[in-house]
Amino acid sequence: MSAPIIQISAVSKVFGRGGDEVTALAGLDLEIARGSIVTLVGASGCGKSTLLRILAGLDARTEGEVRVDGQAVHGPGPDRGVVFQSYSLYPWLTVEQNIAFSTRLAANRRRGEKAAHAARARALMQLVGLEKFANAYPHQLSGGMQQRVAIARALHLRPPILLMDEPFGALDAQTRELMQDLLLHVFEQEGCTIVFVTHDVEEAIYLGNRVVVLAPHPGRLDSVHEVSLPAHRSRDMIASPEFLELRRKVTERIRATSTMTNDLSALSQFGAPQAVAGASLPDLPAAGLTQTTGDQR
């Protein structure tokens, strides 16, 4: 097996000081294989976004080390494209200009490459199905279209790694499914490595080669689940016994580590209404994770 593209070794992150101290991550070790999609799930506050920001070089770790292709990460770099839930496009730039934005930065501009950058922007617009909207502005696009621009923008400099934090979290269920399939298509075409944070267990399994469950307080690794579905995913796999079994397993791990469920059980001891505190979770949520309501198993 080739060397992992990302190596996370004993990474800790502590926010605040004294009484306000929060350990967002405590001694996390994880390796991410080149050319794979690794999805990160876990109860709210388990450090998913913190980990992604550390990988992106946007936050400094308190302890430990992150290596990308063997090089220690000390800040953002063109080898890592980032997509967040909020589309964060530049409203005064067109679709094409947003996608090629990185080449406006002096550090990314090399003489004689202008034509190549423009061709790359056009190829990406085609890849995400927006070639007809090259001259449109973000406010003229739907949420799904804006997120397609954000993905294309993150890929413009051909980063080997794409880091995504709940990129489809704000989209309706149908658009979200379309975006998942579009992302898998992009992944096959671009051959990058993707680290993808989501609250949605179904999305995590559908997209991931491995699903990593983090546990909160302090944020730490709970479990890693290999997804043994065929590499080329299709929607009918969601109903397969393997898929359902893995969904049950991952959901169970998140429930078991969710402090919110502990909080609700504690509330019930103080006579909170049964409808809230004593409600049991539906057996398998159809989409998304409902660990925020329910009892402790």
Ligand X SMILES: Nc1ncnc2c1ncn2[C@@H]1O[C@H](COP(=O)(O)OP(=O)(O)OP(=O)(O)O)[C@@H](O)[C@H]1O
Residues that bind Mg ion in the complex, under the rule CB under 5 A: 48-49
CB of 259 to ligand X, least distance (A): 10
Give the separation between CA 203 and CA 209, rounded to whole angstroms: 12
* Binding residues vs ligand X (CB under 6 A): 15-16, 22, 24, 42, 44-50, 219
Which residue is associated with the tokens 């976004």? Answer: 49
Burial class (CB in 10 A: 0-12, 13-18, 19+), 61: buried
The residue (of 14 and 93) whose beta carbon lies closer to ligand X is: 14
CB of 170 to Mg ion, least distance (A): 13
Contacted entry of Mg ion, ligand X, none for residue 76, CB cut-off 5 to 8 Å set by kind: none
Phi and psi of 5, rounded to 5°? Answer: -75, -30
CB of 176 to ligand X, least distance (A): 17
Contacted entry of ligand X, Mg ion, none for residue 219, CB cut-off 5 to 8 Å set by kind: ligand X
The residue (of 25 and 152) whose beta carbon lies closer to ligand X is: 25
Burial class (CB in 10 A: 0-12, 13-18, 19+), 92: exposed
The residue (of 46 and 130) whose beta carbon lies closer to Mg ion is: 46
Residues 227, 208 contacting (CB under 8 angstroms): yes
Nearest residue (beta carbon) to Mg ion: 49
CB of 254 to Mg ion, least distance (A): 14
Q: Which amino acid is at 262?
A: N
Contacted entry of ligand X, Mg ion, none for residue 38, CB cut-off 5 to 8 Å set by kind: none
Nearest to 220 by CA among 57, 17, 48, 36: 48
